[in-house]
Structure 1
Amino acid sequence: MGYRVINGQMYPMNEFLHSSSSVQKSNKIESCFDKILDSKISCNSDFTISSHAVKRLQDRNIKLDKTDMDNINKGLNLAKEKGAKDSLILYKDLALIASVKNRTIITAMDKNKDSENVFTNIDSVVLL
């Protein structure tokens, strides 16, 4: 006879297979797991652009399309995998300062036109 453990309780396999309440518990567990998995996946698939960064992008007439957003997201994910906290992301002609932990683009600048090219308080650089 086999046993199955669900939420810290042991159930005999024959009771588990024939009991509708156990099946309902199993479905609830699977549903809860699916929700947690979806939230973790979506956590790595989106980010926020601060109002300061949006204003700087608009002032320079820079528009980001879906492909650009996906590539920047990929850069944030790479930085997170390496344990970065605050990162400089160099993408095309943009220099983006990002809080990796908060998944937020803090500021944006055209890396070729800004006179000062000194970046402080970052712990990583992502080249895309």
Structure 2
Amino acid sequence: MTEPSPTGDRRVAIVTGAASGIGRATAQLFAERGKHVVAVDISPQGLTDLGENIVTISGDVSGEEVNRTAIATALDRFGRIDTVVLNAGTGGSPSPRRPATDVVKTADTRGTGPTTRPMRL
């Protein structure tokens, strides 16, 4: 089932944390429904065999470069971005015994860091 935009073009989604779990299921569901998908994850192995209409990017979304690459890829390949799913996580919860750098990384992937700052392309 293809979901056209108001102009009749296919919609485009970027999904982070797309190698497993909810992120993988979301990327696959979007593709099954006819959206173009840019799937991003730190695990290149998990990005294999996602299906048609999916372009994969391996990298750590806590850094700005991978996010810029995902945006540029969507715009270069498909000419638009309609949906962004910020699903990447760190695989654990903060603890007083974790190093401060881990807590900052957790905050960044939860939407308070480079993934949510306005970026000029």
- Superposition TM-score, scaled by structure 2 size: 0.30
Structure with a larger share of its residues in strand:
1
Structure with a larger share of its residues in helix:
1
| Pair member with larger Rg | 1
- Superposition TM-score, scaled by structure 1 size: 0.28
